[in-house]
C-alpha cells in the first residue's frame, strides 16, 4: 500500500520518539515541578502575542505585501471591531460588528 524507504521510516520513528519524550517530560519526575515566577508571568502574554502574530498580518497584507490603498474592507472591519470591543468588552459582539462592516464593503463595493 505505502512504499516507505528506510530513511523515511527512521525519520517518522525518530520524530515520534522526540514527540513522546518532550510531551511526557513532566511525567518522568516524581517530584512536583513548577515554572519560575518570571516564566509564569511571561506566559500570560503568549495568547495575545500569538493572536496578534496571526491576525495583524492578515489585516494589513495581501499576498505577502502591505496593502496599498485605504479601500480595503478588512481595515474598516478591524477598526469597527476594536471600537466595539473597547466600548462593550464583548468578543462575540466584536466578531459580529466586524463582519457587519466587512461583508457589505467586500461584497457590495468589491473592496
pLDDT score at 111 = 87
- Beta strand pairing call for 65-66 and 61-62: antiparallel
CA atoms within 13 A on the CB side of 11: 5
50-104 pLDDT tens trace: 989 999 999 999 988 999 999 999 999 999 999 999 999 999 999 999 999 999 9
Q: What are phi and psi of 61, to 5 degrees?
A: -130, 150
Domain boundaries, the chain: 38-111
Are 106 and 71 in contact by the 8 Å Cβ rule? The answer is no
More confident residue, 28 or 50: 50
Supply the pLDDT for residue 1. Answer: 59
Residue among 93, 92, 99 at smallest CA distance from 76: 99
Amino acid at each position: 500500500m505505502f512504499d516507505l524507504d528506510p530513511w523515511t521510516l527512521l525519520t517518522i520513528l525518530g520524530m515520534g520518539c522526540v514527540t513522546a519524550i518532550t510531551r511526557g517530560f513532566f511525567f518522568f519526575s516524581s517530584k512536583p515541578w513548577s515554572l519560575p515566577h518570571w516564566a509564569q508571568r511571561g506566559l500570560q502574554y503568549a495568547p495575545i502575542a500569538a493572536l496578534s502574530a496571526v491576525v495583524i498580518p492578515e489585516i494589513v497584507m495581501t499576498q505577502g505585501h502591505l496593502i496599498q490603498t485605504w479601500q480595503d474592507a478588512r481595515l474598516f472591519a478591524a477598526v469597527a471591531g476594536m471600537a466595539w470591543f473597547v466600548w462593550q468588552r464583548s468578543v462575540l459582539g466584536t466578531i459580529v460588528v466586524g463582519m457587519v462592516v466587512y461583508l457589505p464593503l467586500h461584497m457590495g463595493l468589491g473592496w
